[in-house]
Amino acid sequence: MKKVLVVIAMLAIGFTANAQKNVIKANPLGLAFGVGDFSYERVVSDSQSFEIGLSFASAKVTSGNEVVSSSAIGGEGKYKFYFSSEKDAPRGWYAAPFVSYAVSSASNSAGTDIGFSTFSGGALAGYQWVFGGGDSGFALDLNFGAQYMSVSATESTSVNIQGFLPRLGLSIGYAW
């Protein structure tokens, strides 16, 4: 038991020793449309970081007598390469490959249920600002890129959609 506590203490010290190397963010546009999209970025060197994200959504749509309810949950991973020689990560221009996976389900008032899984991967280019007097402050991340997306039904329905799509991103948060 003492070994477990020592390991936990070492991990806690490691995560707080470089306190200016963390960023938590949310997508404000997604929140306006009922989609929660939150991420955590951790700097691993002067020019690189990794970011993990979690997203979820829930909606109910009524059309006439028909009510359709849907929900989704997904995760994403990015590895960012920062290019600025004047600023350390997590500030400045970056490029990032990413991969994401989500599962969703929908049901109507007649009791018909269908589930989908979505896999996507691609590349992003972006710029992240950290505003504030020191190593911490408000963060703004803007990015764009392309992704390959594959959507398939998890039930016997023969739905399979795949192809390339553009991608835009906006996140605000706090860096410390």
In a domain, 136, yes or no: yes
In a domain, 13, yes or no: no
The CATH number that applies at residue 55 is 2.40.128.130
Question: In the prediction, which pLDDT does 112 show?
Answer: 79
How many structural domains does the chain have? 1
Tokens for 70? 């849907």
Question: In the prediction, which pLDDT does 127 show?
Answer: 97
Average pLDDT, the chain: 86
In a domain, 156, yes or no: yes
CA 112 to centroid of chain Cα atoms = 30
Question: In the prediction, which pLDDT does 173 show?
Answer: 97
Q: How are the residues of the chain apportioned to helix, strand and coil, as percentages rounded to the nearest 5? A: 15, 65, 20
Tell me the pLDDT tens digit for each residue of 132-148.
867 789 999 999 999 99
Helix (H, G, I), strand (E, B) or coil at 171: strand
In a domain, 103, yes or no: yes
Tokens for 155? 């039930």
Can you give the residue range of the structural domain that contains 167?
19-175
In a domain, 169, yes or no: yes
In a domain, 11, yes or no: no
Give pTM, 2 decimals.
0.81
In a domain, 7, yes or no: no
Q: What are phi and psi of 69, to 5 degrees?
A: -110, 140
Nearest to 124 by CA among 102, 140, 101, 147: 147
Tell me the pLDDT tens digit for each residue of 55-92.
999 988 887 778 888 899 999 999 999 998 778 889 99
In a domain, 5, yes or no: no
Nearest to 152 by CA among 176, 130, 120, 125: 120
Whole-angstrom distance, CA of residue 120 vs CA of residue 73: 14
pLDDT at 11 over 60: no
The CB density around residue 171, as the number of other CB atoms within 10 Å, is 25
